[in-house]
Structure 1
Amino acid sequence: GNNLRIEITINNPAEFKVLKNDDESGSKKWKPMGKSIANLYRYSKVSESVTKRFIEALPTVDTDNVTLKEIKEISKAKEVNGRRYSGFNLLSENDLELFKEISDAGYLIRGFNNKQLRKKLYEDSRNQKNISKMTRTLAKLRKHGIIKKAARKNNYCLTAKGRRITTSIQMYTG
């Protein structure tokens, strides 16, 4: 059989955070990770989470797994805690472009945020209307279970359901 071996190398550990004692207050704070053997446990956790996301994102999409029920589910409005979130129009160029952008492999490790998506999807990414619109879109994606918020960050990443749906939509729309 075929085997796959995935290796992770962290060249710039300062991009990741580690919980350390603060010299001044004595309490623990999240600080940039350094290239030290003392951070080996954190290297392991970061590498494991990146490897899991990478394996989930491998293009082994079984189209039988993405049922018409899942596609219809994200196309319908959803009510959560008394608040209504509209569905996605899969015939709309804007929604298709959104799904294409959030499934970009460049977001696998660090995820994406409001600002990054606005820069890719809107011409005027600093316009307050576009900022608010993207905030509502991210909330809608979360409530439909397509994305989830990364812990302690303002970044989002695709869920397993989101990966299945976005990959299937791209397969059928070319």
Structure 2
Amino acid sequence: MSNPVTTWYLEQTSPADLRPAAEPAGDVRIVRAELPSPEFSRFLYTAVGGDVQWHDRLGMTYAEWAEVLGRPGAETWVAYDRGTPAGYAEFEAGPDGSVEIVYFGLIPAFRGRRIGGHLLSYAVARAWDLAERRPGLEPTKRVWLHTCSKDGPHAMDNYLRRGFALYDTRVTDEPDEPTPGPWPGAHP
């Protein structure tokens, strides 16, 4: 069986487009994972994307994860709530000055605490100043991402509130697959 899935493509074309969210209450910190770690990145990927059917990286080998994470202009930023990973943003610079936010989201237990808007604001600001931290990269001219109808109910609203503008919409028919979760049976 298959289901129609709508994918929306959004972008910012200037740092002035970013509308930052307020910082959440409590002890929330955002830290760059400076050492590429396939183990940690796979943990974040499955913990954040398991209930919204992220599948594309599940079959990647350790070497493939290491290659993706080690690319010039690839960065992972992790939100911690009182020392516990709450979510992450992973992005990658393109050769044309574009930066794609490849993955973004929160672990289900941390959703609804206003961490997502803060993390997205911080990650987008870091995407805009990426070339300052990574000599040899083109200055960022565009930050973009995509989200789909399988993502959380607040994802699109968060992107629009942070200043992203819709530039394309596509509908595809995708097979109905079970939710993988971070481990089998983790999400009922």
TM range (shorter): under 0.3
Q: Which has the higher contact order (CA 8 A, sep 6+)?
A: 2
Q: TM-score, normalised by structure 1?
A: 0.25
- Structure with higher strand content: 2
- Structure with higher helix content: 1
The structure with the larger Rg is 1
Q: TM-score, normalised by structure 2?
A: 0.24
